[in-house]
Amino acid sequence: MTMKSDIGVLGMGTMGGMLALNLAEKGHETAIFNRTAEKAHRLVADNPALAARLHPEDSLEGFVARLKTPRIVLVMVNAGAPVDEQIAHLMPLLDAGDIIIDGGNADFNDTVRRSRSAEGTGINFVGMGVSGGEQGARHGPSIMVGGAKEVWQRLQPILEPIAAQHEGEPCVAWLGPDGAGHFVKTIHNGIEYADMQMIAEIYGLLRDGAKLDAPAMASIFADWNTRGLSSYLIEITATVLAETDEATGKPLVDMIIDEAGQKGTGRWSVIEAQKLGIGATTLEAAVSARGISSRRDERIAASDIYGTLSLDTGSAVPADAAGIADLESALETAKIIAYAQGYAVLAAASAEYGWKLPLRDIARIWRAGCIIRSVFLDDIARVYEAGDGIVNLLQAPSFSERVTAGQAALRRVVSRAVLAGLPVPALAAALSYFDDYRRARGTANLVQGQRDFFGAHTYRRFDQGGSHHHVWPVI
Ligand code: 6PG
């Protein structure tokens, strides 16, 4: 009799294939299926050490029949319509109690819709965010699970061994019902965009301000990776900057076209932040910067029109140790502000959708495996250890002390960059958010006056209760 599999992975793209290998390596009998069956067979042939626990099937029916009941199917296809297609193919072959997991980068709104349409069929739908890229999927990603809690209890023994481990704790957690897992993954990606953009802005200041070459910058980032900024993204930045292009002998980074791609999750994080009324301005700046980067021809034309504007870019970074230390401190401070924004979106979504997101666990499972992993996430986890009552990370004493100490450097870096005409949209957005956030008396009173003037939208007064409308002079 054929041995039944613990789980089936549908879709042998990069992430699907790597997760299947990871599952097999951790002792799970794993059925695998791909529309082009040859791809599944090739995965087995290329990984002979794991072949005994990888079971390729040539038909969807055969794949489903291969699974232990109640069945667990992990769908790893491109986000969007392909997920709906696979669910439609799978549904008639499954029974009540079976579980379909979407492990792609889904829009959480789709996950909520899919969960609702599975309700009543008895088939459980799980939206699961997976972070860590190819290597993470293969050796231990960070996994953000949404769906019914009872279903998580069944998945836990399968997912915990394949997740990244941080000091013995698996980086996987159940985060809430339906779309919670994919929502958290989306915000993870918004923060990922912000982190990457702020690093790129600092790189721009070092390159165009301090006029350093790539190997020199690689050393600076490698040094920063030994302290507070220590993280995967700083580490890979140092590695990318140190790489030489074989064809030309020049730094590879100088041969790469300055147009950034994007698949949509960063943009979704900002759209969701706006829907919730949360200003995630650093994340927004990062997404917008990718958009501007991709309009290269237009930028070149604009640079022809404006030239250098006779600005002295050399004044952007004082070429001494203090100048470099300012950049480090500015990046660390802006990073705290960006994460505070991302966490504020999570907290707002949790309240809006009734998810009760475990903010502490989110920091814990981001400490290893995922793209934004860093020592800094340990600090965030510690803040939430004390309870989920923190309204914003900027109000947590451990962070307010750091921001108080680092804000002067962030101001120097941003203002010098602005005067020198070097763009720092994400760093500047972080600073502006901070200044707006810490101001007890804002300027929205004037906006309210304007709104009442042209639309009788009313305003509230400091000295009286209720809503008021003023009869303004006619102009
Ligand atoms: C991760 C990443 C990953 C994402 C890529 C590409 O957490 O492993 O976020 O899921 O798909 O980084 O994203 P962009 O193409 O949008 O940059």
How far does residue 31's CA lie from ligand 1's centre (Å)?
26
Q: Check if the beta carbon of residue 391 is closer than 8 Å to that of residue 308.
A: no
In the annotation, is 185 catalytic?
yes
pLDDT for residue 177: 97
CA distances (Å), origin 183, targets 148, 190, 265: 15, 11, 10
Instruction: Kindly state which CATH superfamily the domain 442-475 is placed in.
Output: 6-Phosphogluconate Dehydrogenase, domain 3 (1.20.5.320)
CB 96 within 8 A of CB 121: yes
- Across 275-297, average pLDDT: 98
Does the Cβ of 260 fall within 6 Å of ligand 1? Answer: no
Atom 7 of ligand 1, residue of closest alpha carbon: 131
The CATH architecture annotation of domain 186-437 reads Orthogonal Bundle (1.10)
State residue 391's pLDDT score: 86
Q: Active-site residue 263, yes or no?
A: no
Catalytic residue among 192, 272, 284, 328: 192
CB of 263 within 6 A of ligand 1: the answer is: yes
Exactly one of 25, 29, 57, 185 is catalytic; name it: 185
**Is residue 138 very low, low, confident or very high in pLDDT (cuts 50, 70, 90)?**
very high
The rounded Cα 247 to chain-centroid distance in angstroms is 34
* Ligand 1 atom nearest 372 alpha carbon: 7
Mean pLDDT, the chain, rounded, equals 97
CB atoms within 10 A of CB 326: 22
Residue 353 has pLDDT above 80, yes or no: yes
Per-residue pLDDT tens for 141-199? 999 999 999 999 999 999 999 999 999 999 999 999 999 999 999 999 999 999 999 99
Q: Please list the residues that pair with 74 across neighbouring strands.
A: 9, 101
Q: What is the pTM of this model?
A: 0.97
| Domain pair 7-178 / 186-437, same fold | no
Provide the residue ranges of all domains of the chain, joining segments of one domain with +.
Answer: 7-178, 186-437, 442-475
Query: Which residue minimizes the CA distance to atom 17 of ligand 1?
Result: 262
CB of 269 closer than 6 angstroms to any ligand 1 atom: no
Class of domain 7-178: alpha beta
> Which of 15, 131, 263 is the pocket-test mutation for ligand 1 (most atoms within 8 Å of CB)?
263
CB 86 within 8 A of CB 77: yes
